[in-house]
């Protein structure tokens, strides 16, 4: 399957990645070759086969709806690039 450069830029945007034109060209070839590889799946008849998302077919275990975590705000904020007044700081979102 051959991707166009604009396809790669569209996928990159969806993935929140910023690509230069040169990068997009490079990924165009490597992504196309990976998609060619995975195309092999289409030759297999899987009608009636149930998808398997967990190898043990386990379902998500739930816990009781009670608070068990302690307040560790300072510890979690300590790795943030920018904080202010105990909050994560990001560029302005709304004008």
Partner 1 sequence: MIDQNIRSLAQKLRKKELSSVELTQDYLKRINEIDPQFNSFITVTDELALAQAQAADNAIANGETSPLTGIPVAHKDLFCTEGVLTTCASKILHNFVPPYESTVTARIKAAGAVALGKTNMDEFAMGSSNENSYFGAVKNPWNINTVPGGSSGGSAAAVAAGLCVAATGTDTGGSIRQPASFCGITGLKPTYGRVSRFGMIAYASSLDQAGPMARSAEDCAYLLQSFAGFDTNDSTSSETATEGYLASIDSPLAGLKIGLPKEYFGDGLDSDVAQVIMDAVKEFEKLGATVQEISLPNLNLSIPSYYVIAPSEASSNLSRFDGVRYGHRCEDPKDLLDMYMRTRSEGFGKEVQKRIMVGTYALSEGYYDAYYVKAQRIRRLIKEDFVKAYQEVDVIMGPVAPTTAFGLGEKTTDPVAMYLEDIYTLSVNLAGIPAMSVPAGFSNGMPVGLQIMGNYFDEAKLLNVAHKFQQATDWHTQTPSLVKGA
Question: Which residue in the set 22, 70, 78, 85 belongs to the binding site for partner 1 (CB under 8 A)?
Answer: 78
- In the shown chain, the binding pattern of residues 22 to 61 toward partner 1, with x for contact by CB under 8 A and - for none, equals ----xx--xx-xxxxxxxxxx-x-x--xxxxxxxx-x-xx
Q: Does 70 bind partner 1 (CB under 8 A)?
A: no
Q: What is the 3-state secondary structure (H, E, C) of the chain?
A: CCCCHHHHHHHHHHCCCCCCHHHHHHHHHHHHHHHHHHHHHHHCCCCCCCCCCCCCCCCCCCCCCCCCCCCCHHHHHCCCCCEECCEECCCCCCC
Q: Which residues bind partner 1 (CB under 8 A)?
A: 8, 11-19, 26-27, 30-31, 33-42, 44, 46, 49-56, 58, 60-61, 63, 72, 75-76, 78-82, 88, 90-93
């Amino acid at each position: 399957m051959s991707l166009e450069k604009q396809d790669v830029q569209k996928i990159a945007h969806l993935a929140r990645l910023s690509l230069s034109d040169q990068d997009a060209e490079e990924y165009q070839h490597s992504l196309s070759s990976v998609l060619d590889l995975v195309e092999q799946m289409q030759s297999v008849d899987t009608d009636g086969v149930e998808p398997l998302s967990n190898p043990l077919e386990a379902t998500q275990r739930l816990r009781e709806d009670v608070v068990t975590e302690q307040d560790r705000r300072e510890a979690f904020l300590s790795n943030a690039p920018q904080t202010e007044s105990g909050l994560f700081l990001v560029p302005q979102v709304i004008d």
